[in-house]
Chain A
Amino acid sequence: NAGVTQTPKFQVLKTGQSMTLQCAQDMNHEYMSWYRQDPGMGLRLIHYSVGAGITDQGEVPNGYNVSRSTTEDFPLRLLSAAPSQTSVYFCASSGPLGETQYFGPGTRLLVL
């Protein structure tokens, strides 16, 4: 049981490049979400999903896309990276009632 896994651990991008941050969970959780963590701002919700095929926007969705084709995977896409997207990104999952969320180890992204 690996819990929530994220890849890559660290990534450097140039402005305008695209990339996908991967997130997977093996707990059969319905609810998954993406957060970004910035100093002094806590964690802010980017996008979330309440089940396969269903996604919705969080507090800071601009510049990010998500999809949920399977229960296990919830990738986050940056179509055209900007320096403002330099951050640490955390994926999380929880059971059907959205109770305790379990977090992945994070992806540290630097956009130059």
Chain B
Amino acid sequence: AQSVSQHNHHVILSEAASLELGCNYSYGGTVNLFWYVQYPGQHLQLLLKYFSGDPLVKGIKGFEAEFIKSKFSFNLRKPSVQWSDTAEYFCAVKAGNTGKLIFGQGTTLQVKP
């Protein structure tokens, strides 16, 4: 069965610190990869996605992620976080053409001003 694992459950950073959130998945075939963000009290919004091509993808608000196929990973990065980045971040994988999206457990990011 497909699964997604996010290594960090709760991350606390100071403003301007760099961020890297880990995401690994288990599936041997073609995958589409996503990072969603959920700001406090809001619904999920797409941060970025990878379908094919350049494994380094850039998303909104300065976020980027790198797909490393050999490591089954899709880590999220941001060089300098802001207080407004405080949110919960979810990695998700869509395997094949089923349309089913499998989510990781989520990482809560708290940025201290």
Contacts and interface: CB of A to CB of B under 8 A. Distances in A.
Whether A and B are associated in the same complex: the answer reads yes
Interface in B9-60: 9, 32, 34, 36, 42-46, 49, 51
Contact of B51 (A44, A58, A99): A99
Interface string B66-83: 000000000000000000
Interface residues of A, number: 26
Contact of B98 (A42, A98, A101): A98
Interface range on chain B (Cβ under 8 Å from partner): 20 to 34
Interface of B: 4, 6, 9, 32, 34, 36, 42-46, 49, 51, 90, 92, 94, 97-106
Interface of A: 31, 33, 35, 40-45, 48, 50, 58-59, 90, 92, 94, 97-106
